[in-house]
Each structure stands twice: as structure tokens, then as C-alpha cells.
Amino acid sequence: MGKVYSIISGKGGTGKTSSAINLAAALHSLGEEVIVIDANISTPNVGIHLGAPIVPVTLNHILNNQTRLTEAIYKHESGIKILPSSLATQDLSKINHEKLPEIVKSLRNLTNYLLIDSAAGLGKETESAILASDEAIIITQPEMPAVTDALKAVKLCEKLKTPVKGVIVTRHRWRKTEMKIENVLEMLEVPAIGLIPEDKNMQKALMLKSPIVKSHPRSKASKAYLETARKILNIKEEPGFFSRMFRN
């Protein structure tokens, strides 16, 4: 049975989709089979990030009982599989979001890990993603507005009785204007599982339609996502900048 994580954030622009894709690629590089589900029905981005913005069958068709589940799963050259959503905006109001947990349940036997890229914000789409998962992973940046919204996401998980695996802090620049990592963790009251530095190679990877873990394996962000994946898999290794940062 595959483990299911919802990747959520209280606001847009925090690196949620990038984290879902790169965490999936990192887990795959460590020998795990992974499927990424783009549950951001309103504004899907997984397909755009991976060079498949328009595909014939999507999660939308599955939610509306129009096709078989396996027909909507595509394999990226990085090795990860994706279940994308449609960019079309028609009939969004007719999408049955409540069916997502049923779809996730059907996929558990096909993979080791399922990562659900949820919608930005804390609406019905995000609630469905949280309810479909075993645990949630919170994505935020080290700035007060993002962390405040991340706290709302933590509270929503508590309300829906879905445990929070931890928080991944993205685009960390080690600037005085940023919140200190210990203050972020104190505010959210959840463990840290990832610290992703600001990395210009992220934009290059996006241009290449590839996870940075695949396109720039020696980059700082790639190494950080790999270390996060190892932490999720409980693989111990020599302390790196990630572990030192969260120990201080």
C-alpha cells in the first residue's frame, strides 16, 4: 500500500508545486515508485512544470466518471508518474472534488508513494487533498505572511484529523529580513523536514520542463530535496547543511 502525502500551502507562490515534483523525483532517485496527482483543479501547474500542459485524459475526466483511472497516468522522462488536471476552465463547477479520496485509494496499490499537489489556499480542493492523504506536508517561505497562512493550513489539518508530517521551508536566502527558521518552527509547532535554498537553477529546470533533481543534480536545491526525501524515508547519513541548520 502506497503512502499518501498531500502537499499544501496556505497561499500561492511558496513553491508548492515545485516541491511536490522535486520531492517525487528525489524519492524516485532513491528507488521509490512515485505518482504525483495534480489536485489543483482550478489552476493546475504540474503538467506545465513537466512539459505536458495539455494531455488527452486528465484527473477532471476521472472525477466526472468519463474514463478509466489508468488512462490518465503519464510517465515523465525523470521516472516519476503524474496524474495531471486539465487547463480547461469550462464546467469547473461540476467537478466532484469529494471523489478524490476514492481515486487515491485506487492508486495505492500501484506505487510506493502518492504526492498530492493541492490547490493554493484552504478551500474545498485543498480539503479534499488533505482528506485523501495519510499525512500532510506544509510548504512555506521564511516570511511572516507565508508562515501565517501556513499556520492556517496546519489548523485545517488538525480540524480534518490528518496528521502533519512536517514543514518544508523554501527559497531560504539567509537574509536578516527573513524569519529565523527556529521562529518558523515555533510558530507552526510542527517538525522540519526540509530546507530548500534559493537557487537560480530552479528557473533553468522549469525552462527544461524537468525537476531540478534531474536537470541539475549537483545544485543546492537538488541536494536539499534529496536530503528531505532521505528524511522521509528515514535514511540516515552524515549531517549536512540541512541538519546543521535545524539543529542550531
Domains of the chain are 3-247 (3.40.50.300)
Per-residue pLDDT band at 32 (split at 50, 70, 90) = very high
Percent of the chain with pLDDT over 70: 94
* Cα 88–chain centre separation: 22
Helix, strand, or coil (residue 165): strand
Q: How confident is the model at residue 236 (pLDDT cuts 50, 70, 90)?
A: confident
What mean pLDDT is predicted for residues 169-181?
91
In the chain, the DSSP E strands lie at 3-8, 34-38, 74-75, 81-83, 113-117, 135-140, 164-172, 192-197
121 residue type, one letter: G
pTM: 0.92
**What nine digits make up the cell of 178?**
527573513
**pLDDT at residue 239, rounded to an integer:** 55
**Residues in the chain, how many?**
248
How would residue 174 be classed by pLDDT, with cut points 50, 70 and 90? Answer: confident
Q: What does the pLDDT average to over 116-135?
A: 94
| Block residue for cell numbers 500542459 | 53
For residues 28-51, give the mean pLDDT.
Answer: 94
Q: Could you say which DSSP state residue 91 is in? A: T
Cβ proximity of 168 and 194 under 8 Å: yes
233, 5 Cβ separation under 8 angstroms:
no
Strand-strand pairing, 81-83 and 113-117: unpaired
At 248 the pLDDT is 42
**Residue 6 DSSP symbol:** E
Q: Which of 235, 225, 190 is nearest to 21 (CA)?
A: 225
| pLDDT digit string, tens, across residues 57-77 | 999 889 888 888 889 999 999
In the chain, what percentage of residues exceed pLDDT 90? 74
Query: Is residue 141 scored above 90 in pLDDT?
Result: yes
Specify the pLDDT at position 53. Answer: 79
Q: Report the distance separating Cα 169 and Cα 93, nearest Å.
A: 33
Average pLDDT over residues 84-101: 79
Q: Which residue has the higher pLDDT, 248 or 157?
A: 157
pLDDT surpasses 50 at 38: yes
Task: Check residue 70 and give its pLDDT.
Answer: 87
- Confidence band, pLDDT 50/70/90 cuts, at residue 11: confident
Question: Would the pLDDT of 151 be above 50?
Answer: yes
